[in-house]
């Protein structure tokens, strides 16, 4: 293991192998649930890009990939509750079946804002898939259709998740001790 990760005191929560197994299961489930349909998979930047890249390869359906950037965190670890779109979808989702891919749902403020924003664009359906779910910290009620792992209230990094934009490239998910 790299000295940098050890020095930063990051304890493994889910190994790369555990993540890959769960991602494959999610892909199979999504494939079954949407049999005969075409999906627009929307990656929420930046945290979901690693998860999305693996997940789409486990979905056996015709899909297109879209990216939307939202910002709800500064460089600290607390949600500001202020959400804005920093990068918008490239194509219309009107009449389409949409699957939103998130890295983690914490307070729920970001996904709640995003779902309201996307529904205004007239999609046929919108479902959500989040790799991680910190259920205990929810501030708004938001349905999540597919969850990789439910986790306790720890700040986690790796596999796309960052602290101050760092550690997104770790192949595992670890608990970050500041
Ligand atoms: P929410 O709006 O509070 O649900 O926050 C969701 C966003 O906050 C996620 O998409 C992440 O970018 C970020 N976030 C929340 N918890 C963590 C964490 O433990 N590690 C890294 N980022 C997190
Ligand atoms: Mg983030």
Question: Tell me: the pLDDT tens digits for 62-76?
Answer: 999 999 999 875 545
End-to-end CA distance of the chain: 19
* Domain chopping of the chain, boundaries: 17-154
Residue 76: per-residue pLDDT = 55
- Rounded to 10 deg, the angle between the 49-56 and 16-33 helix axes is 60
Q: Which residue has the higher pLDDT, 156 or 84?
A: 156
Q: Is 54 a catalytic residue?
A: no
| The token pair that represents 93 in the structure block | 């989702």
Residue 82: per-residue pLDDT = 72
- Does residue 3 carry a pLDDT above 80? no
Q: Which atom of ligand 1 is nearest to the CA of 103?
A: 10
Average pLDDT, the chain: 93
- The beta-strand segments (E) located in 3-62 are 10-14, 39-45
Question: Tell me: the pLDDT tens digits for 24-56?
Answer: 999 999 999 999 999 999 999 999 999 999 999
Burial 85-119, CB ≥16 within 10 A → b, else e: eeeebeeebeebbbbbbbbbbbbbbbbbbbbeebe
Chain center to CA of 132: 7
Radius of gyration of the chain (CA): 16
- Does residue 101 carry a pLDDT above 50? yes
Residue 39: per-residue pLDDT = 98
Residue nearest to atom 12 of ligand 1 (CA): 47
CATH number of 17-154: 3.40.50.2020
Nearest bound ligand to CA 156? 1
Nearest CA-CA partner of 175 in 3, 10, 7: 10
| The token pair that represents 30 in the structure block | 């999504």
| The token pair that represents 2 in the structure block | 């790299």
Residue 74: per-residue pLDDT = 52
Nearest bound ligand to CA 138? 1
Active-site option among 103, 106, 133, 162: 106
φ and ψ at residue 111, rounded to 5 degrees: -70, -35
Residues with CB under 6 A from ligand 1: 47, 72-73, 79, 102-110, 155-157, 161-162
CB 123 within 8 A of CB 94: yes
The arithmetic mean of pLDDT across residues 133-138, rounded, is 94
If you measure from the C-alpha of residue 132 to the centroid of ligand 2, how many angstroms do you get, rounded to a whole number? Answer: 12
Nearest CA-CA partner of 118 in 134, 102, 138, 107: 102
Residue 4: per-residue pLDDT = 66
Question: Tell me: the pLDDT tens digits for 151-178?
Answer: 999 999 999 999 999 999 999 999 999 8
């Amino acid at each position: 293991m790299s000295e940098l990760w050890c020095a930063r005191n990051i304890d493994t929560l889910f190994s790369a192998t555990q993540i890959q197994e769960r991602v494959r299961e999610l892909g199979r489930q999504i494939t079954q649930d949407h049999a005969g349909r075409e999906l627009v998979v929307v990656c929420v930047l930046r945290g979901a890009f690693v998860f999305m890249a693996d997940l789409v390869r486990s979905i056996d359906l015709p899909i297109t990939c879209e990216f939307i950037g939202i910002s709800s965190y500064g460089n600290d670890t607390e949600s500001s509750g202020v959400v804005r779109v920093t990068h918008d979808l490239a194509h219309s989702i009107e009449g389409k079946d949409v699957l939103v891919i998130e890295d983690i749902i914490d307070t729920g403020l970001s996904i709640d804002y995003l779902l309201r924003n996307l529904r205004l664009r007239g999609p046929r359906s919108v479902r959500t898939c989040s790799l991680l779910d910190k259920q205990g910290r929810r501030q708004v009620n938001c349905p999540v259709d597919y969850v990789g792992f439910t986790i306790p209230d720890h700040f986690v990094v790796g596999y796309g998740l960052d602290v101050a934009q760092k550690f997104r490239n770790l192949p595992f998910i670890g608990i970050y001790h500041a």
